[in-house]
Amino acid sequence: MTKKSALDTEDSATDAAARAGWLYYVGGLTQDQIAAELGVSRQRAQRLVSKAMSEGLIHVRLEHRIAACLALEAGLKRRYGLRLVRVAPAQGPGTDPTHALAPVAAEVMERFLRQPDPLIIALGTGRALRAMAEELPKMTCEQHKLISLVGNIAPDGTASNYDVLMRVADTVRAPHYPMPLPVIIDDEEIRRMFYALPQLKIVARLADQADVTFVGVGHMTESAPLYIDGFISARDLHEQRAMGAVGEVATWCYDSEGRYLEDGLARRVGGLRAGGKPGGEVIGIASGPEKVIPLRAALKGGLLNGLVTGEETAEALLADPE
């Protein structure tokens, strides 16, 4: 009887791996059951299943609508160098993208809130963040500190409808630090006086140390939330657009390269820019066709290193040539 060649032995091992892989991934057998079926030890069965996957004998395809979202998340990470990406499945034409976004964004924030080690969490404002806050479960997070980046007083002197800090703090019972000043301060001298207050200096110092920051991303067209909701005038909007503004984060406008504008409205904003400590996360939460241009610019300029968005918005961001 002749001795088996090395090729025969290799083929035999590959055949065994293929059979083990089929039994595990298609047949649904456990490794103990595979071992009994093939007449080998459990350790040998485990090695054969691993070999089937590592040598490409098995191809796993996820048959679920979330599979497309997972592929988009990977693509956005590669394209823009992001650390965290979540893409919410499309809900169909005519639906508000914020509704699909809110539970996904809340899940991301909950992950940070449930960490036992103390975190400083900074918050912007806007519809998407407010919807996120409403999706958070009740919990107690006394180890964390919540910081507002944006003033909480509307132009008419009332509390801003889009203040997120208080909504989140009430839900998760965490110490919180509001920004007690108007969203826009028309008098630059009064603005300087506000910023000199010891309380604001505390908030600013904490915001600089933020471990993670959650912000909305606004557009600067005629339907800009800042304009529609009365925070800025038509003159302000046209001035900022003439200076190249395509978006805003926490009321700070930036151009198509993701560079903050330093003149005009920037001299009157009541709040702080998103940033946090070196190595911290700045997560933008936005979706919809009007958000594509501002998101693209913010990602290009490195204003964000994390993103929660919708499926169609993600596709549009990846469709744009690099």
pLDDT at 7 (0 to 100)? 40
For 284, the 3-state DSSP assignment is strand
Long-range contacts of 92-98 (CB under 8 A, 24+ apart): 97/287, 97/288, 97/310, 97/312, 97/313, 98/127, 98/128, 98/131, 98/287, 98/288
pLDDT at 60 (0 to 100)? 58
Residues in the chain: 322
Fold classification of 6-54 is Arc Repressor Mutant, subunit A (1.10.10)
Helix (H) / strand (E) containing 172? helix 165-172
**pLDDT tens digit sequence for 275-286:** 999 999 999 999
High-pLDDT (> 90) share of the chain, %: 66
pLDDT at 248 over 90: yes
Delimit the domains of the chain by residue range. 6-54, 66-319
pLDDT at 175 (0 to 100)? 96
Burial status of residue 8 (CB atoms within 10 A of its CB: 0-12, 13-18, 19 or more): exposed
Q: Using the structure block, give the residue that is written with the tokens 């557009």.
A: 219
pLDDT at 39 (0 to 100)? 83
Helix (H) / strand (E) containing 281? strand 281-285
Fold classification of 66-319 is Rossmann fold (3.40.50)
- Assign 207 a pLDDT band (cuts: 50, 70, 90): very high
* CA 63/CA 67 separation, integer angstroms: 7
pLDDT at 11 over 70: no
Mean of all residue pLDDT scores within the chain = 89
pLDDT at 3 over 50: no
**pLDDT tens digit sequence for 13-58:** 777 888 888 888 777 889 899 898 888 899 999 999 888 888 877 7
Find out whether 205 and 120 touch, Cβ atoms under 8 Å: no
For 300, the 3-state DSSP assignment is helix
* CA 253/CA 258 separation, integer angstroms: 9
High-pLDDT (> 70) share of the chain, %: 92
